[in-house]
Amino acid sequence: MIERFSLEKLKETFADKSLMRDFYLPQTHENLRVPTEPYRSELFGFSLFYKGESNLIADLKEYEVTAPSLIMMSPSVIRQWTMKSSKISCYTFFFKESFLLEHLGNNSIFQKFLFFKQDATHVLQISEEDYTILRPAFDDLLHVNKSNTIHKREIIRYGIITLLFKIANIYNQATEELSIRKDSFVTTVEKFKSLINANFIEERSVQFYADQMHITAKHLSKVVKNKTGHSPSFWINKAIILEAKALLQNSSLSISDVAYKLQFDDPSNFSKYFKRNTNHSPKSYIKSLDS
């Protein structure tokens, strides 16, 4: 099992002892600290970020998060935060798929929320006007969550759905405008990173990705280096290391288990690879998690 933030671990992060098991609306949203090691979550999550600055890696996409911004991620996305401010402030709502789909009959609603796709844009800076429109809806749901309203669960479910549709309107318009301004080289890099996310465990050669994109490895290397400052191999290695760190946080897996899950032929080769790319052995990395 890949290490994932469970609902219980999220509540521990926010010092919350509430009993809800399939959604979570933290009452604390000021001066937060975020996990700094790579992880996945068991839940869908979306945030309205309104104070502070942070860097975020979501799969292989890198974002500078500044206020006001929307952040949207599905459970499949591996993420890593780097704080640029000592504290950040944001509303963040978490939910399991089963909670949102209860009574809806089918899961087609998720097709409306493009920002939950694996290769989506996960951070979107928004206007002050959009922030002013969205914030009361977050406040209202927090107020309902604190109340003893008889239909609280249903109000929160449909309130989240309404919020997600509002976010979808903002997101779809913004990403359409961004796609018009993208040049072909940026599109090439995005496609390359998307292919890495889908294939990096089995495929680690630059030639494989070039073949998938119907271009030469030389052209791919030139474009990626020009647009990102790094070689294609750097990004392939980065995906492997992010996955390795997430796996090493799972105490039920040995270092050998992690090595074989990542398809290294020998645990010693994995350890050498990990140390070469992080300056830490897997064992010392695991120890650092407790410090």
Quick one: 63 and 174 in the same domain?
yes
Are 137 and 169 in a shared domain? yes
Residues with Cβ within 8 Å of 53's Cβ and at least 6 positions away in sequence, in order, are 64, 65, 66, 67, 84, 85, 88
| Domain span at 33 | 4-181
Q: How many CB atoms lie within 10 A of CB 151?
A: 10
Q: pLDDT tens digits, residue range 161-220? A: 999 999 999 999 998 887 777 788 888 999 999 999 999 999 999 999 999 999 999 999
What is the signed CA dihedral for 97, 102, 103, 105, rounded to 10 degrees?
30
The stretches of 69-127 forming alpha helices (DSSP H) are 97-101
Q: Which two tokens stand for residue 11?
A: 């509540």
CATH at 12: 2.60.120.280
Q: Measuring CA to CA, how many Å separate 187 from each of 36, 184, 216?
A: 29, 5, 16
User: Considering the entire predicted model, what is its pTM?
Assistant: 0.84
pLDDT for the residue 152: 93
Q: Give 159's DSSP letter.
A: H
Whether residues 169 and 261 fall in one domain:
no
Sorting pLDDT into bands at 50, 70 and 90, what band is 1? very low
Looking from the CA of 238 toward its CB, the CA atoms found within 13 Å total: 18
In DSSP notation, 5-61 reads: E-HHHHHHHTT-----SSEE--S--SSB----S-BEESSEEEEEEEESEEEEEETTE
Q: Is the omega angle on the peptide bond into residue 282 within 30 degrees of 0, that is, cis?
A: no
Query: pLDDT, tens digit, for every residue of 21-66?
Result: 789 999 889 988 888 899 988 899 999 999 999 999 999 999 999 9
Supply the Cα-derived Rg of the chain in whole angstroms. Answer: 20
Count how many domains the chain has. 2
Residue 69 corresponds to which amino acid?
Answer: S
Specify the CATH number for the domain of residue 197.
Answer: 1.10.10.60
Nearest to 192 by CA among 151, 225, 220: 220
Q: Are residues 177 and 190 in the same domain?
A: no
